[in-house]
Each structure stands twice: as C-alpha cells, then as structure tokens.
Amino acid sequence: MSPRESQGFSDQNRLDAQTLQKKGSVVSKVVGYPAKMYDRYQLVLGLNLYEPWEKILLNTFVLGAAVLLVHSAYTYLPNYISSTAEKIFLYFKD
C-alpha cells in the first residue's frame, strides 16, 4: 500500500468524487455558480493574496465603479440612442 493510499487517497475515490460532481442536482449547480464566479473574480484580481481590509477596499472601488457605470447607462444611454437614431433617420431620409 502506498503512502498516498494509506491517507485515504486513491484513484477510485477521485473518480467517485468526479462522478458525484457531474451528477449534482440543479439546485446545487445554481447555488454553486455564484460561489464559482466569486472565486474566479478573486483569482483574476488576485484578491486571495490581500489582507481582509485590502479586499474590502478594492471591492468597494469595484462596486462603486459598477454602480456608476449602471447609473450612467440608465441615465444617459436612452437619450444618446434616440438622438443617434434621429440623426441616422435624417441622414437616410430624402
């Protein structure tokens, strides 16, 4: 018996875990998706290397930028699209 198998690791255990992950219920997939995306977000920004107060500071900046982007799009984008559409229609109108 290898040291790895004596600690409870074997190829059969690994295959069983992979099979269970593939056969997960829809609820577990829906609940696990935000956690997966948050882990990906942390890896992309490297947040797993920072201290908790640094994570809070960086997340505050990211959230603030997202709020400003959504607010600006909601406020200014409809007017911009309508004015651009009017200019396009005037250009092609003869």
Burial class (CB in 10 A: 0-12, 13-18, 19+), 18: exposed
- 67 and 32 within one domain: no
With respect to residue 2, please indicate whether it lies within any of the assigned structural domains. no
Whether residue 5 lies inside any domain: the answer is no
The tokens for 90 are 């005037």
38-73 residue pLDDT tens: 899 999 989 889 999 999 999 999 999 999 999 999
Q: Is 55 in contact with 47 (CB distance < 8 Å)?
A: yes
21-35 pLDDT tens trace = 556 677 777 888 998
**Cβ pair 45, 58 in contact under 8 A:** yes
Shared-domain flag, residues 29 and 65: no
Which residues are within 8 A (CB) of 62 and not within 5 positions of it... i.e. 6 or more apart? 45
- pTM of the predicted model, to two decimals? 0.56
> Are 72 and 60 in a shared domain?
yes
Token pair in block for residue 60: 């505050």
